[in-house]
Structure 1
Amino acid sequence: MSTALQAQERTTITKSALRHLRQQGKVPGVVYGKGLAAPVSVALDAKDLALLLRTNPHSILEMNVPGRGSQPVLLTDIQRDSLSGQVLHVDFHQVNLNEKIQAEVRLDFQGKSPGEQEGGMLQIVLHELEVECLARDLPPSIPVDISLLEVGDHLTVADLKLPDGIKAALEMDTVVASVLAPQKDRTEEELEAMDDAAEENEQHRRAFEAVEKD
């Protein structure tokens, strides 16, 4: 747990008070967990939170929770303004490092596939993978080597080299990435798949840009 967040105690609950809090560069949040007597309302520095979202949004974090000391927590929910993308509220769950959890882990695609060099298009189907592991073993990302993918090839969850103690929570035959044929050789099904992939990648791009603006 190399990432740490400093939380401040929060008593503001009205819309006007929360709006004022955000104007001060703070983001309201709540920390839940079996290890806490009751949920804790907190305020986090918006810049610190933005850095977290850019680097380790799915990592186990060390948070200094007011009155409860340092706690291992996991970011579980983000509420954003539908127009500006501004983060309005976040939820964290306190976790036991020795208990199993299910969480999303970012997939880090590495290398250049021969199929792309031949004019094919890399289609990313999964950007994140849901895994099950002990909380202390949750990795910040999982590398995915695409350097051997030829045109028409694909990688499935079964092909991923997961760290020790990490188990995928998806079916092993779930496609992670594939290389589609060059445009002139594509079938109607591949063109439809491209449209779906392009739409999903655009959604991820917008989400990333929203984080960059925080």
Structure 2
Amino acid sequence: MDIITVEKRNEQLKAKQLRRKGIVPCCVYGGGLANTISIQMEQKTADKLLRVLRLGSKVQLKLDDQNIITQIKDKYFANGKVEHIDFQALDPQTKVNSVAHIILENSDVVTGVLDKMLMEIPYASLPKDMIDTITVDLEGKAVGTTIAVKDIPEFSNENIELQVETDSIILKISEKKSSISKDNALANE
């Protein structure tokens, strides 16, 4: 789990002023916190964080002498720059809704047409059981291959409460349509 050092937000400056100084305003809420905590981090840190992680990713925030286990709940962009990040604090004893991201490996070697249907799988779990990403290797997968949620071993875990049907299709590889058959179809019209 990534550890990001943050500081309490400078309430003397407006969000726009912070951004001009290369600082991204953020907030942490939920998970047993009495109140929402306004925090800030450097723009470089926020950019790097969101390049590597996604919505639903677990992150440990170090704020002064306090470590807060969170997930990235929302992010806001304007003009290609991170404007704000919302973090949800996680209570170790409470299930949390999140999303697992499907990462496809070797998609460039697929011989057919790759139809991506469901690249984010919503679920609920305790923080210790959270899944950030699942890599599916497509090398050697033939035309006609269909992968459903139930085909992913990580989703067979009894500690993961899926919020989609297990028969939901993640991806399928279908045959490439030849241009000759399209031409024949047009000629027959």
Bin of the TM-score, shorter chain as denominator length = 0.7 to 0.9
Give the corresponding residue for 1:64: 62
Change (3 A) 1:186 1:25: farther
Change (3 A) 1:112 1:33: closer
Give the corresponding residue for 2:148: 156
Give the corresponding residue for 1:98: 93
The count of residues paired between Structure 1 and Structure 2 equals 179
Give the corresponding residue for 2:168: 174
- CA offset at residue 72 of structure 1? 0.5
Partners of 2:11 and 2:180 in 1: how far apart? Answer: 56
Partners of 1:135 and 1:54 in 2: how far apart? Answer: 22
Give me the identity figure in percent: 23
Provide Cα deviations, 1:58-90, integer angstroms capped at 9, x if missing partner.
322111235x71110111111111xx2211111
- Choose 1 or 2 for highest CA Rg: 2
- CA offset at residue 140 of structure 1? 2.7
Aligned runs of 1:14-25 on 2, under 5 Å?
A: 17-25=14-22
| Structure 1 residue ranges without an equivalent (≥5) | 189-214
- CA offset at residue 148 of structure 1? 5.0
Aligned runs of 1:91-170 on 2, under 5 Å?
A: 91-111=86-106, 116-117=110-111, 120-147=112-139, 149-162=141-154, 164=157, 165-170=159-164
- Does structure 1 retain, via aligned residues, the 8 Å contact 2:46–2:82? no
- CA offset at residue 186 of structure 1? 11
- CA offset at residue 50 of structure 1? 1.6
Partners of 1:45 and 1:11 in 2: how far apart? Answer: 13
- Does structure 2 retain, via aligned residues, the 8 Å contact 1:98–1:136? no
Partners of 2:31 and 2:168 in 1: how far apart? Answer: 33
2:82 to 82, 87, 91: 87
Normalized per residue, the structure richer in strand is 2
Give the corresponding residue for 1:76: 73
Give the corresponding residue for 2:6: 7
Task: Give the residue type in structure 1 aligned to 2:63.
Answer: V
Give the corresponding residue for 1:29: 26
TM-score of the superposed pair, with normalisation by structure 1: 0.73
Partners of 1:101 and 1:7 in 2: how far apart? Answer: 23
| Structure 2 residue ranges without an equivalent (≥5) | 183-189
Task: Give the residue type in structure 2 aligned to 1:172.
Answer: T
- CA offset at residue 95 of structure 1? 0.6
Normalized per residue, the structure richer in helix is 1
Provide Cα deviations, 1:79-137, integer angstroms capped at 9, x if missing partner.
111xx2211111111111232212012212234598x33xx111222222112221112
CA RMSD of aligned residues (A): 2.6
- CA offset at residue 187 of structure 1? 9.6
- CA offset at residue 42 of structure 1? 0.8
Give the corresponding residue for 1:50: 47
Partners of 1:186 and 1:158 in 2: how far apart? Answer: 37
